[in-house]
Amino acid sequence: MQVEEGGLSIEVPETRHGASEGSGEGVFYNPVQELNRDITVGVLRAVDDECDTYLDAMTASGVRAVRAADAGYDVAACDVDPDAVDLARRNLESNGLDGEVHHRDASAHMHEHGHDVVDLDPFGTPVPYVDAAVRSAGRYLCVTATDTAPLCGAHFESGVRHYGAVPRNTEFHAEMGLRVLLSALVRAAARYDVAARPVLSHVSSHYVRTYLRLESGARAADGQLDRLGYLDHCQRCLWRRHEATLIADPVEECPHCGQSTWTAGPIWLGPAHDAAFVERVREAVPDGAGTAAESRDLLSTVAAELDEPTHYDQHRLYKRWGEPSPAMAEFLDALRAAGHDASRTHYGGTTFKTDAGVAAIRDAVL
Ligand SMILES: C[S@@+](CC[C@H](N)C(=O)[O-])C[C@H]1O[C@@H](n2cnc3c(N)ncnc32)[C@H](O)[C@@H]1O
Ligand SMILES: [Zn+2]
* Lowest mean pLDDT, pick from 11-15, 150-154, 202-206, 211-215: 11-15
Q: Using alpha carbons only, how large is the chain's radius of gyration in Å?
A: 21
pLDDT classification of 57: cutoffs 50, 70, 90: very high
Q: Read off the pLDDT of residues 241-281 as tens digits, 9 standing for 90 and up.
A: 999 999 999 999 999 999 999 999 999 999 999 999 999 99
Q: Read off the pLDDT of residues 278-312 as tens digits, 9 standing for 90 and up.
A: 999 999 999 999 999 999 999 999 999 999 999 99
Judge whether residue 21 has pLDDT over 70. no
CA of 20 to the centre of ligand 1 (A): 13
Ligand 1 in contact with 129 (CB < 6 A)?
no
CATH class of the domain comprising 312-365: alpha beta
- Res 20: pLDDT: 47
Cβ count within 10 A of residue 287: 8
Q: Read off the pLDDT of residues 157-195 as tens digits, 9 standing for 90 and up.
A: 999 999 999 999 998 999 999 999 999 999 999 999 999
Q: Read off the pLDDT of residues 309-343 as tens digits, 9 standing for 90 and up.
A: 999 999 999 999 999 999 999 999 999 999 999 99
Cβ count within 10 A of residue 139: 17
Whether the upstream peptide bond of residue 266 has omega within 30° of 0, thus cis, is yes
Mode of pairing for the β-strands spanning 8-11 and 14-15: unpaired
CA of 23 to the centre of ligand 1 (A): 13
- Distance, CA of 278 to CA of 86 (rounded, Å): 35
Q: Which among 212, 253, 224 has a CA at the least distance from the CA of 236?
A: 253
Atom of ligand 1 nearest to the CA of 57: 21
- Res 314: pLDDT: 95
Q: Which among 301, 307, 308 has a CA at the least distance from the CA of 349?
A: 301
Ligand 1 in contact with 136 (CB < 6 A)?
no
Question: What is the rounded end-to-end Cα distance, in angstroms, of the chain?
Answer: 56
Ligand 1 in contact with 312 (CB < 6 A)?
no
- pLDDT average, residue stretch 30-56: 97
Burial of 360 from C-beta contacts in 10 A (0-12 / 13-18 / 19+): middle
Mean confidence (pLDDT) of the chain: 95
pLDDT classification of 199: cutoffs 50, 70, 90: very high
How many residues are given for the chain? 366
Question: 2-304 and 312-365: same fold?
Answer: no
CA of 150 to the centre of ligand 1 (A): 20
CB burial of 101-115 (b: ≥16 within 10 Å; e: otherwise) equals bbebebbebbeebeb
Asked if residues 317 and 358 have their Cβ atoms less than 8 Å apart, the reply is yes
Q: Read off the pLDDT of residues 61-118 as tens digits, 9 standing for 90 and up.
A: 999 999 999 999 999 999 999 999 999 999 999 999 999 999 999 999 999 999 999 9
- Distance, CA of 3 to CA of 12 (rounded, Å): 7
So where are the chain's domains?
2-304, 312-365
Q: List, in order, residues 6 or more apart from 183 with CB less than 8 Å away.
A: 163, 165, 228, 265, 266, 267, 268
- pLDDT average, residue stretch 206-211: 96
CA of 326 to the centre of ligand 2 (A): 23
Strand order in the sheet with 137-145: 100-103, 74-79, 53-56, 115-120, 137-145, 207-216, 194-204
2-304 fold:
Rossmann fold (3.40.50)
Query: pTM of the prediction?
Result: 0.96
Judge whether residue 25 has pLDDT over 90. no
